[in-house]
Amino acid sequence: NPPLNVLVLGGDGIGPEVTAQALRVLRHMQAKHDLAMRIEELPYGNATWRATGHLMPPETHAAVDRADAVLFGAVDSLDRTGMPAEERARGSLLSLRKRLGLFANLRPVRTERALDEVSPFKPRTLAGVDLCFVRELSGGVYYGQPRGIERDADGRRRGVNTHIYDEDQIIRAARFAFALARGRRGVLTSVDKANVMEAGALWRQVVTALHQDEFRDVRLDHMLADTCALMLNRDPKRFDVILTDNLFGDLLSDAAAGLAGSLGLLPSASLSAPRPDGRRRALYEPVHGSAPDIAGKGIANPLAAILSAAQLLRWSAGSEAAAAELERAVTAALEDGARTADIALPGEAVLGTAAMGDAVLARL
Ligand code: NAD
Ligand code: IPM
Ligand code: MN
């Protein structure tokens, strides 16, 4: 196999701060496990736009086209006053996801015993939580047309978005989620609003038919999205793989961050369909955003970014051993009391972003 082309885009706010730590750890694992990777880091984000007039400069665009895997920090999509709509559209995270053909966004949520006291939930609710969202990433209201702010017949402005799913999009996400469940505990919960939305009713029909045709060995439950929000805090252990659409997946995965203890702990992997060479194109990013409230202070938790690098080792570098080793190092650092501010109890000593990176590296 030719070396894996890895493109690193730190982006905005805490994105570059946490990505720097993920990159240190990734380079360490590359050397330790002798992984064939070519890593390049290029400018991207609002600061790049202010300096160059491009949110994503031409050389970064070119690098995206040759990348097998992108290690991504965060974007601040609210801090773009004055940016031409065209630049915004060409450089956005949504267009990057589209360009890479990403359709399955995996968002694993596990609880760490060391963080029982940090989480707002009781230890008995948290024990044994190990679930993974498969958020459909290519469709739904994120991309549906028509969209825009327009005038109605009476001259009133209205905002328009369209929630639309075709059956091919549902099938490919569902097939991925069933296969993932098959390799885990064998339970898939498909989440929709079939009671209100036609796209949800179709979602349920298509998932049910696929289950009958190809995945009878997996247990399938259907759940309404509002009930899922409740069950994530009442009985999160019941979940193994949760399949849902783009918007519900965005909301429900942030809601599940309270189980882990902080949004600063949740990684993600976004995958395309396999290319002819069998490789999937992929993007790895924390579930959190640019966190403007703590950016530039060196205090952000880099573990979501570091665990996203573990996902890269698993899904793109094909090294389950390196991925699992890195995840164990994160658990060990937490068990030894390493804490950034977001996961510290009052009075506990806190590490900055780089020191947390050191704490993980020290255990590799
Ligand atoms: P956010 O996820 O950036 O922050 C939410 C809260 O969590 C904040 O209080 C923040 O300080 C905290 N937090 C997040 N990550 C943390 C970390 N690693 N360590 C410690 N604390 C952390 O969400 P927001 O503030 O609502 O949005 C800010 C910007 O980020 C918006 O422009 C939004 O569009 C963007 N965003 C981008 C992504 C992405 O790049 N994938 C994801 C979500 C939000
Ligand atoms: C996420 C983010 C993005 C999303 C935004 C920044 C476009 O919230 O990755 O969770 O909504 O998909
Ligand atoms: Mn989100």
Which residue reads 């091919």 in tokens? 168
Closest protein CA for atom 25 of ligand 1: 291
Query: Which two structure tokens, joined as six digits, stand for 121?
Result: 């939930």
Instruction: Tell me the pTM.
Output: 0.97
Contacts of 173 (CB under 8 A, 6+ apart): 103, 104, 134, 136, 243
Q: State the pLDDT at residue 359.
A: 98
Q: pLDDT of 127-145, one tens digit each?
A: 999 999 999 999 999 999 9
Instruction: Judge whether 9 and 42 are in contact, CB under 8 Å.
Output: yes
Domain 1-113+263-364 has what CATH class? alpha beta
Q: Does residue 51 register a pLDDT over 90? A: yes
- 140 Rama sector, left if φ>0, alpha if ψ -120 to 50, beta otherwise: left
Instruction: Give ligand 2 pocket residues (Cβ under 6 A).
Output: 75, 77, 93-94, 250, 287, 289
Q: State the pLDDT at residue 211.
A: 98
- Amino acid identity of 304? A
Which residues are annotated as catalytic? 142, 193, 226, 250, 254
Q: State the pLDDT at residue 79.
A: 82
By three-state DSSP, how is residue 40 classified?
A: strand
The minimum-distance atom of ligand 1 relative to the CA of 15 is 40
Q: What's the gap in Å between 256 CA and the centre of ligand 1? A: 15
State which of 18, 142, 263, 268 you would mutate to test the pocket of ligand 1, scoring each by most atoms of that ligand within 8 A of its C-beta: 263
Q: pLDDT of 166-182, one tens digit each?
A: 999 999 999 999 999 99
Name 12's bridge partners.
none
Q: What's the gap in Å between 363 CA and the centre of ligand 2? A: 31
Would you list the domain boundaries of the chain? 1-113+263-364, 119-260
Domain 119-260 has what CATH class? alpha beta
Q: pLDDT of 152-161, one tens digit each?
A: 999 999 999 9
Q: pLDDT of 64-122, one tens digit each?
A: 999 999 999 999 988 888 889 888 888 999 999 999 999 999 999 999 999 999 999 99
Query: Which two structure tokens, joined as six digits, stand for 134?
Result: 């498969």
Smallest-distance ligand from the CA of 78: 1
Look over the chain and give the mean of its residue pLDDT values, rounded to a whole number.
Answer: 97
Q: State the pLDDT at residue 81.
A: 83
Say how far apart CA 234 and CA 26 lie, in whole Å: 36
Instruction: Judge whether 287 and 268 are in contact, CB under 8 Å.
Output: yes
Smallest-distance ligand from the CA of 254: 3
Instruction: Judge whether 284 and 104 are in contact, CB under 8 Å.
Output: no
State which of 44, 77, 93, 97 you would mutate to test the pocket of ligand 2, scoring each by most atoms of that ligand within 8 A of its C-beta: 93
Decide whether 1-113+263-364 matches 119-260 in CATH topology.
yes
End-to-end CA separation in angstroms for the chain: 26
Write the burial class of residue 336 (CB in 10 Å: 0-12 exposed, 13-18 middle, 19+ buried). Answer: exposed
Closest protein CA for atom 31 of ligand 1: 76
Smallest-distance ligand from the CA of 285: 1
Cα-flanking dihedrals φ and ψ of residue 102, to 5°? -75, 130
Q: What's the gap in Å between 226 CA and the centre of ligand 2? A: 20
Q: Is the CB of 78 under 6 A from ligand 1?
A: yes
The minimum-distance atom of ligand 1 relative to the CA of 254 is 2
Which residue reads 């390493």 in tokens? 338
Which of residues 296 and 80 earns the better pLDDT score? 296
Q: State the pLDDT at residue 263.
A: 96
Say how far apart CA 150 and CA 161 lie, in whole Å: 11
The minimum-distance atom of ligand 2 relative to the CA of 287 is 10
Say how far apart CA 50 and CA 37 lie, in whole Å: 31
Write the burial class of residue 231 (CB in 10 Å: 0-12 exposed, 13-18 middle, 19+ buried). Answer: middle
- Alpha helices per DSSP H over the chain: 15-32, 46-52, 58-66, 85-91, 93-99, 123-126, 167-182, 198-214, 225-234, 246-255, 257-260, 303-315, 320-335, 353-362
